[in-house]
Amino acid sequence: MNLGTSVPPTGIAPGQPATRSDQPPAGWRLWWVAIRPRTLTIAVAPVLAGTALAVADTGRLDLAPMAAALFGAVAIQAGTNLYNDVGDALRGGDQPLRQGPPRLTALGWASPARVRRAALIAFGLAALAGLYLAAVGGWPILALGAASLVAGWAYSGGPWPIAYTPLGEVFVIAFFGVGAVSGSYWLQAHALSPAAMISGAALGLVAAAVLLANNYRDMEADRLAGRRTLAIRMGCEPSKALYAVLLLLPFALLASPIGPGYGWIALLALPLALRLIRRFVTEARGPAFNLILGHTARLELVVAALIAVGVGL
């Protein structure tokens, strides 16, 4: 199946945006919608957690690398979202059945070239931050940053986009979990830490639950577009069980003896996770899942904050 030559259901050829009578947001609000702000917390949370873990171990905080890491992580996430916007539209992936937030390219709010240019600007800003971080952290940070930029592009770009396969959740755990937390720790401590890797896995699992909620919501539209996401491969009931595992396993990791010191304090967020699991299992798929997705991303930030509080003790 050649996903690159599929035609959107509107009958518009690839490369031509769909049209819609709704007026797009003006100015910066247009791009604020495009970068999907509800998902940006999955870039912020691991940097905060990794930095807090390193400060607890070393007794010092270097603000400049932390700020640059935050900026770079958010820029990569924004670039990934923008490239996903244009990539899905050109592949016919943004079907009318899709229940998610507005997409600029598919709605005709911005041309494919304009959205792609915005994505490249975001990746370029991330690369600039990465050059400084590489000077601070050496070749491990350079390698991690380069791999993150390539993965951000490959998520929706190239002949085999990750977003069209069952590997999206693995990608999120690796780059927005283990890699991001361990990299943030390295920038402060210039070393690796088992506690940072465990914390990264925990936060990555929650971030993967964000992606699963997104793909579960859009199963019909994604199937028509030729996607084979993990939610589609597993089906509805197994996806519900997997979402529960992705939200509960982090608490087991953080509270275990191999987790960070005072990691059990993250259990304070467990009621939030249980409430989200109940909503995921009981609510019908549709626009309501946009709130579940946003609240799942917020849960990751809460868990990261609790990790910081725990190691501070």
Establish if 35 belongs to a structural domain: yes
Establish if 102 belongs to a structural domain: yes
Identity (one letter) of the amino acid at 58?
A: T
Report the distance separating Cα 204 and Cα 245, nearest Å.
Answer: 13
Domains of the chain: total: 1
Direct distance between the N- and C-terminal alpha carbons of the chain, in angstroms, rounded to an integer = 54
* Coil/strand/helix, residue 225: coil
Q: What is the mean pLDDT of each run of 10 residues along the chain (313 residues)?
A: 35 39 75 86 94 93 95 92 81 58 79 90 93 94 91 81 90 93 95 93 96 91 86 94 97 90 91 97 87 94 94 78
CATH of the domain at 242: 1.10.600
Establish if 3 belongs to a structural domain: no
**Residue pair 276/295 in contact by the 8 Å Cβ criterion:** yes
Going by C-alpha positions, the residue among 164, 172, 240 that lies closest to residue 208 is 172
Q: What is the pLDDT of residue 196?
A: 93
Going by C-alpha positions, the residue among 89, 100, 83 that lies closest to residue 220 is 100
What residues make up the domain containing 144? 29-312
Name the token pair of 183: 């990299």
Q: What is the pLDDT of residue 129?
A: 94
Q: What is the pLDDT of residue 8?
A: 37
Establish if 123 belongs to a structural domain: yes
Establish if 12 belongs to a structural domain: no
Establish if 11 belongs to a structural domain: no
Going by C-alpha positions, the residue among 241, 247, 233, 239 that lies closest to residue 285 is 239
Establish if 24 belongs to a structural domain: no
**Residue pair 103/89 in contact by the 8 Å Cβ criterion:** yes
Establish if 21 belongs to a structural domain: no
Q: What is the pLDDT of residue 236?
A: 93
Q: What is the pLDDT of residue 96?
A: 54
Tell me the pTM.
0.85
